[in-house]
Amino acid sequence: MIRKATRKDIKNLAEIDIECNDPVDKILGLKKSHIPRSIRERFDNGLEKFFIYYDKEGYKGYITIIEYFPAYASSEIRWLAVKEKYQKQGIGSKLMDFAEKYATKMKKKKIYLYTHISRLKTAVRFYNKIGYKEINTFKKYYSNGDTALLLGKTI
């Protein structure tokens, strides 16, 4: 099931982030000890809407959506994380589908996301499979100077 996350879920969100073992965290030099504070700050900022996936076994993934993207009638997926042991089980697809339906309810026509260029063989393949198209690259997008890839989809 997927539900809107509350402030009480910050610990669960951080656990998901830590256990997703994202290789980009290492590339960007992000420390696992900073993740709870970062999520709390993002949550309190209010820009992102957090949605968490769970079942009887516990919390497995989450997605965040920014309701506004600087293009007509568009939203942005800011974050998608699934614990590594639950990856390739359809949870990411369910979260993406949920986000697209959420954006549609907000009368959005398109949805966008950025991903690290190093994810060409993993995340980008996943996003392409569910209908996202590569739009542009942005050099020096990340704090360490790495390139980001912008993808989008008409919903």
Which CATH number do you get for residue 40?
A: 3.40.630.30
Range 20-35 average pLDDT: 80
Query: Residue 46 has what pLDDT?
Result: 95
Which residues, 6 or more positions from 68, have their beta carbon under 8 angstroms from its beta carbon? Answer: 74, 75, 76
Range 44-48 average pLDDT: 96
- Evaluate whether residue 120 is within a structural domain: no
State the pLDDT confidence band at 25, using cuts at 50, 70 and 90: confident
Q: What percent of the chain has pLDDT over 70?
A: 99
Q: What is the chain's percent helix, strand, coil content, to nearest 5?
A: 40, 30, 30
- Evaluate whether residue 124 is within a structural domain: no
- Evaluate whether residue 88 is within a structural domain: yes
Task: Name the residue with tokens 């919390």.
Answer: 59
Beta-strand runs (E) in the chain? 2-4, 48-55, 58-66, 74-82, 110-116, 133-138, 148-154
Query: Residue 22 has what pLDDT?
Result: 83
Least confident among 5-14, 29-38, 42-51, 63-72: 29-38
Total number of domains constituting the chain: 1
- Evaluate whether residue 133 is within a structural domain: no
- Evaluate whether residue 61 is within a structural domain: yes
Question: Closest by alpha carbon to 98, among 128, 55, 48, 53?
Answer: 53
Check: pTM over 0.75? Answer yes or no.
yes
Least confident among 28-32, 42-46, 79-83, 115-119: 28-32
The span from the CA of 26 to the CA of 35, in Å, is: 13
Asked whether residue 119 carries a pLDDT value surpassing 80, the answer given is: no
- Evaluate whether residue 129 is within a structural domain: no
Structural domain for 58, as ranges? 2-109
